Amino acid sequence: MHRPSPDRISRFAQIVGSIVPDATSAAVILMLVVAGAALAFGSTAGAIADAYYRGLWMLLPFTMQMTLILVLSAVVSATPFFRRLVVTLARKPRTLTQVIVFSVLLDAAASYFYWGLGLALGPLIAIHFAAAAEEKGIAVDFPFLLATVAAANSVWQFGLSSSAPLLMATPGHFLEKTVGIMDLRSTIWSAPAILMVVTFPIALIVVARILMPRQSLPLSRFPEAHALARAEDAPAAIGDGAATAGFAGWIERSPLVIAVLIAALLSWLYHHFVTRGHSLDLNAMNTMLLALALVLHRSSAAFSQAIRGAVTVCWPVLVLYHLYGGVAGLLQFTSVGERLAGAFAAWSTPLTFTFLTAAASSIVAIFIPSSGGQWVVQGFVTTRAAAEVGTTAQHGLLAMSVGDHVGNLLSPFWPVLLAGIARVDFRTFFGYGVVFALLWFVLGVTIFTFVR
In this prediction, residue 21 carries a pLDDT of 64
In this prediction, residue 382 carries a pLDDT of 86
Cα angle: 123, vertex 154, 9; to 5 degrees: 65
* Average pLDDT rounded to a whole number, residues 302-314: 76
Position with higher pLDDT, 451 vs 301: 451
> What is the SS3 assignment for 413?
helix
**Residues in Cβ contact with 187 at an 8 Å cutoff, skipping those fewer than 6 apart:** 158, 162, 165, 168, 169, 193, 394, 397, 398
Going by C-alpha positions, the residue among 441, 339, 319, 323 that lies closest to residue 380 is 339
Instruction: Kindly report the average pLDDT of the chain as a whole number.
Output: 84
Q: How far is CA 191 from CA 69, 254, 290, 444, in A?
A: 26, 46, 30, 13
d(CA 412, CA 372): 18
In the chain, pLDDT over 90 holds for what percent of residues? 39
In this prediction, residue 282 carries a pLDDT of 78
Contact between residue 396 and residue 357 where contact means Cβ atoms under 8 Å apart: yes
Contact between residue 424 and residue 222 where contact means Cβ atoms under 8 Å apart: yes
**Residues in Cβ contact with 101 at an 8 Å cutoff, skipping those fewer than 6 apart:** 93, 205
> pLDDT at residue 254 above 60?
yes
Amino acid at 254: S
In this prediction, residue 26 carries a pLDDT of 73
Tell me the per-residue pLDDT of 131-160, one tens digit each, with 9 for 90 and over: 999 999 999 999 999 999 999 999 999 998
DSSP string of 194-209?
Answer: HHHHHHHHHHHHHHHH
Question: What single-letter DSSP state applies at residue 274?
Answer: I
Other residues' Cβ atoms within 10 Å of the Cβ of residue 268: 14
Write b or e for each residue in 309-344: b if 16 or more Cβ atoms lie within 10 A of its Cβ, otherwise e. Answer: bbeebbebbeebbbbbbbbbbbbbbbebbebbbeeb
Amino acid at 312: T
Amino acid at 329: G
Cα angle: 265, vertex 174, 185; to 5 degrees: 65
Could you give the dihedral angle defined by the CA atoms of residues 116, 118, 124 and 128, in that order, rounded to the nearest 10 degrees? 170
Task: Choose from 78-87, 220-229, 378-387 the range with maximum mean pLDDT.
Answer: 220-229
> pLDDT at residue 4 above 60?
no
d(CA 28, CA 367): 10
Q: Where are the domains of the chain?
A: 6-237+312-450
**Residues in Cβ contact with 172 at an 8 Å cutoff, skipping those fewer than 6 apart:** 61
d(CA 143, CA 213): 10
pTM of the predicted protein model: 0.77
In this prediction, residue 315 carries a pLDDT of 66
**Residues in Cβ contact with 179 at an 8 Å cutoff, skipping those fewer than 6 apart:** 168, 383, 393
In this prediction, residue 235 carries a pLDDT of 41
In this prediction, residue 241 carries a pLDDT of 46
Which uninterrupted H or E stretch holds 219? none
- Banded model confidence at residue 401, pLDDT cuts 50, 70, 90: very high
- Banded model confidence at residue 11, pLDDT cuts 50, 70, 90: low
d(CA 373, CA 376): 5
**Residues in Cβ contact with 288 at an 8 Å cutoff, skipping those fewer than 6 apart:** 269
Tell me the per-residue pLDDT of 313-370, one tens digit each, with 9 for 90 and over: 566 667 777 887 888 788 778 888 777 767 777 788 888 999 999 988 887 776 665 6
Task: Choose from 268-277, 354-363, 375-384 the range with maximum mean pLDDT.
Answer: 268-277
In this prediction, residue 237 carries a pLDDT of 40
> pLDDT at residue 22 above 80?
no
d(CA 73, CA 96): 29
Going by C-alpha positions, the residue among 118, 75, 108 that lies closest to residue 295 is 75
φ, ψ of residue 383 to 5 degrees: the values are: -70, -40
- Banded model confidence at residue 413, pLDDT cuts 50, 70, 90: low
Contact between residue 56 and residue 348 where contact means Cβ atoms under 8 Å apart: no
In this prediction, residue 94 carries a pLDDT of 95
Tell me the per-residue pLDDT of 112-122, one tens digit each, with 9 for 90 and over: 988 888 988 89
